[in-house]
A and B are shown apart, each in its own frame.
Chain A
Amino acid sequence: MTSQITTECPADPNEPVIELNGITKTYQMGSVEVRALDGVSTVFQKGDFWAIMGPSGSGKSTMLNVLGCLDRPTTGTYILDGRDVSNMNDDQLSLIRLRRVGFIFQSFNLIPQLTVQRNIELPLYYLDWSVKESRKRARELADMVGLGDRLNHRPTELSGGQRQRVAVARALANDPAVILADEPTGNLDTPTGKQIMALLEDLNTQGKTIVMVTHESHVAAYAGKHLHMLDGKISATEDHS
């Protein structure tokens, strides 16, 4: 098992990582049927940095849940990294998340009782890496996000920005095909937020595919491609790259 942190190869613009085809997602809220996603079709290429934008209730979060294989679409097909995941069962989806998806959340979502080291190792634990290998990998990732000296601290002993760095390191641990970030700067002050965005930008230039949900345009500006959503539909896409 190699502990390669980033895929150094330049992105091939013609290789799709995410293909959505007529995705709908409906929820039953009491007697009312809510259509959170209404026929979404789009393709994200390898090495893209997408920002999904839109007002609250536009289906951003549902979109991210479906992209992150936390939720199954009601209809439509979703091909992630060459595999159709739209009809997978819970176990299969868990494995897809484990191997191909890295999550970064607004509220960091680190496990409070585990040290920084253990938090970063978490995906590797479920991937059955050996203790030795995962230690080495966690150390490398912590060094990369600038927290090499904080490995034995607990999340509560870190600042917000540091916590988000740990979360980024954890998202990278399994060398995912796509990194999904849900308002990654939402709980951070502007300077810290900028640092995190710089880190994500850096990862993108190293070839990582990133999909980020945000409603702040200055954060979205870091992303090369924008996808606007409204009422569960894609209202516009922009390419600034």
Chain B
Amino acid sequence: MRYSKAVRNILLGMDNLRLHKLRSLLTMMGIVFGVGSVIAMLSVGEGASREALDQIKKLGSNIIIITSVKPSDDNANDMRRTRMSIYGLLYHDAKRLRETFDTVIRTVPVKLIRKDARVNVRHLEVRLVGTTPDWFSLVRRPLVAGRVLSEQDMKKRKAVAVLTEHGARKLLAVESSLGKPVRIAGDYFEVVGIIRNENIQSGSLSTPDQDADAYVPINVARERFGDMFVKRTSGSYVRELVELHQIIAEVDASENVEKTADGIAEMLKRSHMHDDYRISVPLALLREVERTKRTFNIVLGSIACISLLVGGIGIMNIMLASVTERTKEIGIRRAIGARQKQIVGQFLIETIVLSTAGGLIGICLGLLIPWLITFFAGMPTVVTAWSIVLSLVISVGVGIVFGIYPAFRAAQMDPIIALRHE
């Protein structure tokens, strides 16, 4: 039965703290709540940003999305009501993009057309997405049944469609309808596959991915429906000519993404008269989210640190009182032969034991609170390992910082006076 010196000292410290159970417990409370709130706050912040990051990461970080935007030309609407507005990205743009930049591995054109789809008597407005097979490898979606579009479909200009799960369910209700036809705006398409759709909420980053999407080969879509979009509503007649609604460009390496995006902006600026496109870079957004997250963490962290500071001051206060109360004991120990540093060690260990115990209880609290938040408020929370390590380190640190002054006060007492103290 041979303890190491350190373990023995810690046990002795615990013995002393156990003498005043209530006092020790109350003293710890500051640290308990401080550590608990540090972990809880960081977990809420982490949960929120993790959600945003997940969405962006699903899109892939090595891509650049260029979206057609109708230029804000108010005159056109009023004066020349019947005029056709021509804007947006061109087939040509996609090709030029691929040819101009070495860093762009491939481009995926996307054409969006709203059409009514019909299976027997069921009908549903779907968004027809004309694209290439590359879309499926770039924007990964789990396949529920069948297959995705293939190069063969493109070459042979097959009238095939891949539906999203929700759309398929609404239209067909059964999965066994693979191979059956779906009528979209008067044309029949064979359903070859069903993919699961992901919920992407962030507005700035929408890939063509909605409840009811029908993916068809882009050349087929162009052939059948053309580039013209005509919308008649009461009193207005809008004609739009848009070749491509979106171009997704994949870049070879993440460090080239931003450079390439700048290059694309420069190129499009030259060839487009109007500002009729928008370039979004998930990677840049990722960085932005991470920056926001860091700021968020710093703000929340410092609020929580204030409560730790208050807890620390509470500990110091009690330890100073304890030193005064135990003056006689200090005198006895010094007379027996304890050196100053041993007295410092004794009181410092007591403070550290106290604050570490507080920290450990605080960690339990910090694990419980996020769970409650998720359970009752439905907010996502993520408790990270580093926040636990950090708060434990901080609570030990608080013990050292706020314990050192009382400990030195204890050690520097004149043993003769301390002995006489009653």
Main secondary structure of the interface of B (DSSP, over half): helix
Question: Among B207-215, B275-283, B328-336, which stretch is in contact with chain A?
Answer: B328-336
- The contact sample of 16 A-B pairs, CB cut-off 8 A, is A91-B339, A94-B338, A96-B337, A97-B335, A97-B337, A98-B338, A109-B328, A111-B333, A113-B15, A113-B19, A122-B336, A126-B333, A126-B339, A130-B2, A131-B8, A132-B1
A65 to B342, CA, bound (A): 21
When A68-B335, A122-B333, A130-B2 are in contact, do A105 and B419 touch as well, CB less than 8 Å? yes
B3 cross-chain contacts in A, Cβ below 8 A: 131
Inter-subunit contact A109/B337 (CB<8 Å) = no
The reply to whether the CB of A86 lies closer than 8 angstroms to some CB of chain B is no
Asked if residues A70 and B416 are in contact (CB atoms below 8 Å), the reply is yes
Q: Please report the C-alpha to C-alpha distance between residue A170 and residue B336 in the assembled complex, in whole angstroms.
A: 9
How many angstroms between the C-alpha atoms of A128 and B3 in the bound complex?
A: 12
- What residues on B are CB-neighbors of A128 within 8 Å? 5
Q: How far does the Cβ of A141 sit from chain B's closest Cβ, in whole Å?
A: 14
Query: Is B335's CB under 8 angstroms from A111's CB?
Result: no
A28 nearest CB across to chain B (Å): 14
* B340 CB-CB contact with A under 8 Å: yes
B94, chain A: closest CB distance, angstroms: 80
Whether B416 lies near A126 (C-beta < 8 A) is no
The interface residues of chain B lying within 8 Å CB-to-CB of A110 are 332
Q: Is the CB of B332 within 8 A of A111?
A: yes
- B256 adjacent to chain A (CB < 8 Å): no
CB distance from A226 to the nearest CB of B (A): 25
CB of A104 to closest CB in B, whole Å:
11
- Interchain CA distance A128-B9 in the complex, whole Å: 11
Confirm or deny: B150 has a beta carbon within 8 angstroms of a beta carbon on chain A: no
Listed in ascending order, the chain A residues whose CB lies under 8 Å from chain B are: 65, 68, 70-71, 90-91, 94-99, 101, 103, 105, 109-113, 122-123, 126-128, 130-132, 170, 174
Q: Which residue of A lies closest to B411 (CB)?
A: A90
B82 contacts partner chain A, Cβ-Cβ < 8 Å:
no
A94/B334 in contact, CB under 8 A:
yes
Contact of A131 among B1, B16, B328, B334 (CB under 8 A): B1
CB of B2 within 8 A of CB of A126, answer no
Chain A residues with CB below 8 A from B15, complex form: 113
Please name the residue on chain A nearest to B12 by beta carbon: A125
Chain B residues in the interface with A (C-beta under 8 A): 1-3, 5, 8, 15-16, 19, 328-329, 331-342, 415-416, 419
Which B residues are in CB contact (< 8 Å) with A71? 416
B8, B329, B342: the one contacting A126 at CB < 8 Å is: B342
Closest residue of B by beta carbon distance from A113: B19
Given known contacts A113-B16, A126-B342, A132-B1, is B416 in contact with A65 (CB within 8 Å)? yes
A65-B416, A91-B340 known; A109-B5 Cβ under 8 A: no
Collect the chain A residues with CB atoms within 8 Å of residue B331's CB. Answer: 109
Contact residues in B for A111 (Cβ distance below 8 Å): 329, 332-333
Residues of B within 8 A of A94 (CB): 334, 337-340
Chain A hits for B335, CB < 8 A: 68, 70, 97, 103, 109
Q: When the two chains form the complex, which single residue of A91, A98, A112, A130 contacts B336, counting CB atoms closer than 8 Å?
A: A98
| CA of A26 to CA of B350, assembled, Å | 38
Most B CB contacts (10 A, CB to CB) among A65, A97, A130, A131 go to A97
What's the Cα separation between A110 and B419 when bound, in Å? 11
Cβ B419 vs Cβ A126 within 8 A? no
Complex CA–CA separation, A224 to B339 (angstroms): 34
Neighbouring A residues of B339 by C-beta, 8 Å: 90-91, 94-95, 126
How many Å from the CB of A180 to the closest CB on chain B?
A: 10
Q: Are B416 and A99 in contact (CB under 8 A)?
A: no
Q: Which residues of B contact A101 (CB under 8 A)?
A: 337
- Taking the closest CB of chain A, its distance from the CB of B353, in whole angstroms, is 16
Other 16 A-B pairs with CB < 8 A, given A105-B419, A109-B419 = A70-B416, A70-B419, A91-B340, A97-B336, A98-B336, A98-B337, A98-B338, A109-B328, A109-B331, A111-B333, A113-B16, A122-B333, A122-B336, A126-B339, A127-B337, A130-B2
Q: A109-B419, A113-B16 are in contact. Are A126 and B338 (CB under 8 A)?
A: yes
Write the nearest CB–CB distance from A80 to chain B, whole angstroms.
13
Closest Cβ neighbor of B339 among chain A residues? A94
Among B333, B337, B340, the most chain A Cβ lie within 10 Å of the Cβ of B337
- Give the distance in Å from the alpha carbon of A67 to the alpha carbon of B342 in the complex: 23
Chain A residues with CB under 8 A of B416: 65, 70-71
Identify the 3 closest CB pairs spanning chains A and B, nearest first: A98-B337, A97-B337, A94-B339
Within the complex, the shortest CB–CB distance from A16 to chain B, in Å, comes to: 22
Question: Nearest B residue to A173 by beta-carbon distance?
Answer: B336
Contact partner of B415 (CB less than 8 A), chosen from A70, A122, A126, A127, is A70
Residues on A with C-beta less than 8 A from B337 are: 94-99, 101, 123, 126-127, 174
Residues of A within 8 A of B19 (CB): 113
Q: How far is the CA of A95 from the CA of B331 in the complex (A)?
A: 15
User: B340 contacts which of A90, A99, A109 (Cβ < 8 Å)?
Assistant: A90
Task: Compute how far the CA of A109 lies from the CA of B422 in the bound complex, rounded to whole angstroms.
Answer: 10
The interface residues of chain B lying within 8 Å CB-to-CB of A132 are 1-2
When C-beta atoms are compared, the residue in chain B nearest to A132 turns out to be B1
For the complex, give the distance between the alpha carbons of A94 and B2 in Å: 26
Complex alpha-carbon distance, A170 and B300, angstroms: 54
- Chain A nearest CB from B344 CB (Å) reads 12
Query: B408 to chain A: closest CB distance in Å?
Result: 13
CB of A123 within 8 A of CB of B336, answer yes
Cβ–Cβ < 8 Å partners of A113 in chain B: 15-16, 19
